[in-house]
Amino acid sequence: MTEQPADDQGAASADAGREYRIGELARAAGVPVRTLRYYQERKLLPPPRREGRIGLYSEDHLARLRMIGNLLERGHTLEGIRELLSAWEQGRDIGTVLGVEKVATAPWSNEVPVTMTLDELAELFPGEVNPESVERAVSSGVIEVDGDRVTHWSRRQLEATVTLVRAGVPLAEVLAAGQQLQRSMDELAAMFVRLIADHVVGDFEEQDLGDLTETLARLRPGAQVTVEAGFARAMDRQVRAAIDQLLGRLTSP
């Protein structure tokens, strides 16, 4: 093993013990001073050591600022970052904590959005596209409009809507049904989240976070299968009931 020269050891020790005034720390971290003060107000950054009226920040402050910047680039909110840093301070490995977060917040669908012009959208639904229907679709989160460009969140759902309208269902009725379905899906999703939060995540302090990550990963497909199977079974019941009712009318004297 090569011994580090005494001069290098002294330089490393000096760097490790370096302290910064607030302007120096802001420049080293590449953030404005006002941002640094805001982080302190939000309890993201510990207070500095004081020498009289001068605040002195350490390399630990700089490391934390860089971590905050990296987490912001990954899409975390400041509140989420505060919770992650709190877990880190309690001795948890932040990489493991981020692994849990990644599994929990990964997209639950692989829907492919589709973008077109308003005229192209109108061609798909002749006589059905008007300011009212567009506004309803926007408020429902089905489409986003940017000038003359329209983006539908799901190509598959758009194709299903086209099929329904061409079969004779008015677009307004499809949109109304979609809003009702979304409300039901939100309630169902909230129920699943409560179950997982109360009975799995609620006890995570008593178990290894790596195990929690694996558990959440296993639960994801199970939740989706439960919803798909339940909806398919409900459709079987409703279609059978509708057919029985139709046959009853046709065979009645």
SS3 state of residue 126: coil
Between 159 and 224, the higher pLDDT residue: 159
Same domain for 72 and 125: no
Each residue of 69-124: pLDDT tens digit?
A: 888 887 778 888 887 777 666 666 656 666 655 666 666 777 889 999 999 999 99
Same domain for 152 and 45: no
Give the model's pLDDT for residue 7: 47
Q: What percent of the chain has pLDDT over 90?
A: 43
- Strands, E, within the chain: which ranges? 49-51, 54-56, 114-117, 143-146, 149-152
Please give the model's pTM, rounded to 2 decimal places.
0.56
How many domains in the chain? Answer: 2
Same domain for 245 and 140: yes
Same domain for 201 and 135: yes
Same domain for 21 and 121: no
Same domain for 120 and 54: no
- Tell me if 60 sits within 8 A of 88, measured CB to CB: no
Q: Which domain holds residue 234?
A: 114-251
Burial class (CB in 10 A: 0-12, 13-18, 19+), 162: middle
Mean of the per-residue pLDDT values for the chain?
A: 82
In this prediction, residues 143-148 reach a mean pLDDT of: 91
Give the model's pLDDT for residue 91: 63
Query: How far is it, in rounded angstroms, from Cα 61 to Cα 45?
Result: 7
Same domain for 74 and 166: no
CB burial string 225-250: b at 16+ within 10 A, e below: eeeeeeeeeeeeeeeeeeeeeeeeee
Among 59, 91, 123, give the residue marking a domain's end. 91
Each residue of 178-223: pLDDT tens digit?
A: 999 999 999 988 888 888 778 776 655 544 556 666 777 778 788 8
AA identity, residue 145: V
Of 42-56, 107-121, 163-177, 196-210, which gets the smallest average pLDDT? 196-210
DSSP codes, 195-221: HHHHHTGGGGGGS-HHHHHHHHHHHHH
Whether pLDDT at 144 is above 90: yes
